[in-house]
Structure 1
């Protein structure tokens, strides 16, 4: 079992996201949490292998976002993606526009206080 190390808190989120693969809409997903380095996405009936390059398209904070990312892991019903570039502006502002409570654990051996 590997230990996942996170360098930034994750904030809970509920945001509709379109996953684009090779510049075409591939599927819809729901973002469940956000860090400045990536997102956890709920997706149904698809598998995106680790290493798949995608773009995430969504509307938030009064603007259209198109964020390049790579799938870093997948699990039943979801995938974890890492942004090509950090998005500190998105990380600082988006959860405040919804409801936010940071997950404090920095590795998967620690329980997350917020339940995510």
Structure 2
């Protein structure tokens, strides 16, 4: 069993990210969740060790981002990275719409009554 070390909630995202190592593009990845302190990147054939410094290059919210980060863990499908500095603007911008989504519609049963969808 592993101990959960996250300090902030993670939100699902789908965003293309290039991982730069030693000032050159190393690999393209797909960000699948985000907090203001880090993200999980789905990658294949990655050989970067835990603790290595990288830069994350991405384009979103009408801006180009270059974010220094540290590889903090590996999992079969990718890596977890922690930003060197919290990225509150990126986090707020990408999760803003998630907090405004309306709740899912209630299901209507055969009698015309609302029932909770599960």
Contact map agreement 1:13 1:32 (CA 8 A) in 2? yes
Higher relative contact order by CA 8 Å / sep ≥ 6: 1 or 2? Answer: 1
Query: Counterpart in 2 of 1:86?
Result: 86
Structure 2 unmatched runs, 5+: 100-118
* Greater Rg over alpha carbons, structure: 2
Query: Counterpart in 1 of 2:40?
Result: 40
Structure 1 unmatched runs, 5+: 102-116
Per-residue deviation, residues 14-64 of structure 1 (Å, max 9, x unmatched): 000000000000000000000000000000112221001100000010000
Query: Counterpart in 2 of 1:5?
Result: 5
CA distance in 2, matches of 1:84, 1:72: 11
Q: Which moved more, 1:54-63 or 1:43-52?
A: 43-52
CA distance in 1, matches of 2:54, 2:71: 7
Query: 4+ runs of 1 displaced by more than 2 Å?
Result: none
CA distance in 1, matches of 2:96, 2:2: 32
Query: Counterpart in 2 of 1:52?
Result: 52
CA distance in 2, matches of 1:79, 1:29: 10
* Post-superposition offset of 1:96: 3.2
TM-score normalised per structure 2: 0.79
Q: What is the root-mean-square deviation in Å for CA atoms of aligned residues?
A: 1.3
TM-score normalised per structure 1: 0.80
The alignment of Structure 1 onto Structure 2 pairs a total of residues equal to: 99
